[in-house]
Structure 1
Amino acid sequence: MVAFPKSELRAAAGGRCEPEGAESRETEAECGDAKEEKRGQTIVWRNVVLMALLHLAAVYALQLIPRAHPFTWIWSYVCFLITGLGITAGAHRLWSHRSYKAKFPLRMFLAAANSMAFQVYALFKGILGTHNVKYSHTFDASPLASNELYIWDNPLLFKLLYLCAVLFRYYKLSVVMMCFVVPTLVPWYFWDESIWNSYFLPGILRYTICLNCTWLVNSAAHIYGNRPYDKYINPRENCLVTFGAMGEGFHNFHHTFPFDYSASEFGLRLNPTTCFIDFMCLLGLASNRKKATPEMIKSRKLRTGDGSA
C-alpha cells in the first residue's frame, strides 16, 4: 500500500484550492451557465415511464420470493454483490479515481460486473463530466485541457475516445447478456427454476435494488449524516447508505480524499469493497493502493471538520 505524494495532496490536507484570476471568472461564468441550464431542465417522460415500469416489475417480483428455490435467493444475492463490485471497485474506485491498479484478469471481471450493473453511461459521465470539473482547471493532463490545440495531441483524450468507441460497439450486447440473460439462465439451467422466477428475481428485482442503492449514494449521502472531514461540502457520512452500497456511504471522507482506495478512514469496517480489493492484492491481481495518511486525516479534521469525530 502506498500513500499519495504530499505535493499532490496539498489541497486535500489543507483545504480546497480555488482558481485565481481569469480562471476564477471562468469558473463563476460556468456556474452561472449551470444554474441557467438547471432552471431550464425538462422532464424526460420516456425515462419516467421506463423507471415506473421497472419498479412496478420489482414490486411484482417480491411476491415471487416465497415460491422460488432457495438457491435462486442465494444466486440473486450473489448477482447483487457482483453488480455492486462492478460499480464500487470497478467504475468508481478503479476507473474514475485510479485509487489502485488492477491486472488484466481483474479488470475483465470488473468490466463484466459493471455491465451487469447497467450503469455504464454514469461511468463515462463521471469520467468526462463531474469528476473532471475540478481537474480541467488545474491539470494539463485533463482530456478537456484548453491548451491542447488538436484532439489527437492529447493522448488521454484519444484513449478515452477509443474506449468509448469500443464500449458502445459492444455495449448493448454486454448489458443484455450480463444484466439479464446470465442471471436468468443460471437458475433455470442448473436447478430447474422457472424461467419466470429466474428473470424477475436475479434479473429485475436485483437490478432495481442496485439502482436504488446507487441513487442513495447520490442523494441521501449528500443530505443526511455528519461531516467530520469537511463541513463546507454537502457529502456526509451515512451508515445506512454504507451498508446498502458496499462501503460507499463514507461520503464526506471520500469527497475530501477522493484518491483513497478504501473511501473510508476505517478500513474494512462496513466496507465489503475494500475487503475485496485487499483480497485481490493478496492474490496478486491488484496493487498500488493509495491511502490518506493518519496525519493528513487528523489535520483535515481539525481544519475543516464539524467536530463530530
Structure 2
Amino acid sequence: MGLQVYVVGTLQAIGVNGGIHRFWTHRAYKAKWQLRVILLIFYCIAGMNNPFEWVRDHRVHHKYTDTDADPHNSNRGFFFSHVGWLMMKKHPEVIQKGSQIDMSNVMADPIFIFGCKYFLILNIVFAFLLPILIPVYAWNEIWSRAVMSQILRYVLSLNFAWSVNSAAHMFGSKPYNTQINPSENRLVAFMAYGEGWHNYHHVFPWDYKAAELGDYKLNIVTMYIDLFAKIGWAYDLKQPSAELVKTVLRKKGDGSHWSIVSEANNKTEQ
C-alpha cells in the first residue's frame, strides 16, 4: 500500500508542482503538447480545483501576497491559510482582484482549455477511479487496500500541498527577502516535493526550479522537468542569474543564506 501511495503521489506532484504551478501559472518554461497532456493528466490525479481557478487564484496570491486580496492570506491565521479559505466565501477583494488577472496566455492553450471544460470527469477518472481499479485488476490488490491507499494518499497530498500556503508562510528563514512572509521551510520542501523553498519562490517566481539549488532530494519535481528537457519536451527553462540572486539576497536577506554564512565562518577562522 505504501508503494501505491508514493507512486501516485509522485505523479500528482509532477502535475501540480511542475504543471499547473511552474508551467501554466508562472510560465517558468515551455512544454511541447506531449508534455502538456501528461501534466494535465497528472494534475487531475491530485483532485484539486479546476485548472482555471487554480491558475487565477495563484496568480492573485503572488500579486497580492498576504493581503485581503490573497485567497489564502496567512495573516488570517494558520488554519485559514491551510484549509479554511476553501471552506468559506472569498473575501470581496479576492473576487475583485481575481477578475482582473490576465488569463489570456493559458486560455490560448487548447490542452488547458480541454482540461477546464472536462475537468469534472477527468478528475473523477484520474484522481479516484483509475488509482483504485488499476491495483485491483493489474496485480490482484484487494478492494479495501486499494481504496484505503488512495484515501490516505489524497488526504496526505492535500495537506502537504496546503502546508506551502500555511507553514511555509509562517515558519522558516528568509535569506532572500525579510520583508515578506514566505519562508524557506525544509520540512515543507520534503513533504511537497520541492515547493517549500518559498522565500526564494516569491522573490523569483519565474524560476522553473522554484528554488535556488537543484537538489533533487528536496526538489524531486525539478528532476523530472530536467529529464523532460533532455528529450526536448521541456525547453526555455527560466532562472535568474547567479549575480542577480547574490545581489538580492545581500540587499534584502536575513543573512542566513549559505554563501553568507560560509563567508562569515571563513573570516572567523582567519
1:170 corresponds in structure 2 to 118
* Structure 2: segments with no counterpart, 5+ residues: 66-97, 258-270
Tell me, in whole angstroms, the C-alpha distance in 1 between the residues paired with 2:185 and 2:245. Answer: 18
In the alignment, is the contact (CA less than 8 A) between 1:143 and 1:156 conserved in 2? Answer: no
- RMSD of aligned residue pairs (Cα, Å): 2.6
Shift of 1:144: 2.8
In the alignment, structure 1 residue 227 sits paired with structure 2 residue 174: yes
Tell me, in whole angstroms, the C-alpha distance in 2 between the residues paired with 1:144 and 1:293. Answer: 31
Tell me, in whole angstroms, the C-alpha distance in 2 between the residues paired with 1:155 and 1:199. Answer: 37
1:126 corresponds in structure 2 to 57
1:246 to 193, 202, 208: 193
Tell me, in whole angstroms, the C-alpha distance in 2 between the residues paired with 1:256 and 1:216. Answer: 19
In the alignment, structure 1 residue 204 sits paired with structure 2 residue 144: no
2:238 to 290, 297, 302: 290
Shift of 1:234: 0.2
Structure with greater Cα Rg: 1
In the alignment, is the contact (CA less than 8 A) between 1:126 and 1:132 conserved in 2? Answer: no
In the alignment, structure 1 residue 84 sits paired with structure 2 residue 13: yes
In the alignment, structure 1 residue 272 sits paired with structure 2 residue 210: no
In the alignment, is the contact (CA less than 8 A) between 1:96 and 1:131 conserved in 2? Answer: no
In the TM superposition, what are the counterparts of 1:43-58 in structure 2 within 5 Å?
A: none
The normalised TM-score by structure 1 is 0.66
Sort the Cα spacing of 1:155 and 1:84 in 2 relative to 1 into closer, same or farther, 3 A: closer
Q: Which string of whole-angstrom CA distances, capped at 9 and with x for unpartnered residues, describes residues 247-301 of structure 1?
A: 1111000000011111111113411011111111011110000011110011001
How many positions carry a matched residue from both structures?
222
Relative contact order (C-alpha < 8 Å, sep 6+): which is higher? 1
Tell me, in whole angstroms, the C-alpha distance in 2 between the residues paired with 1:116 and 1:155. Answer: 23
In the alignment, is the contact (CA less than 8 A) between 1:91 and 1:123 conserved in 2? Answer: yes
Tell me, in whole angstroms, the C-alpha distance in 2 between the residues paired with 1:157 and 1:265. Answer: 26
Sort the Cα spacing of 1:303 and 1:266 in 2 relative to 1 into closer, same or farther, 3 A: same
In the alignment, is the contact (CA less than 8 A) between 2:15 and 2:43 conserved in 1? Answer: yes
Q: Which of structure 1's runs of 4+ aligned residues deviate more than 2 A?
A: 124-134, 142-145, 157-169
Shift of 1:163: 7.8
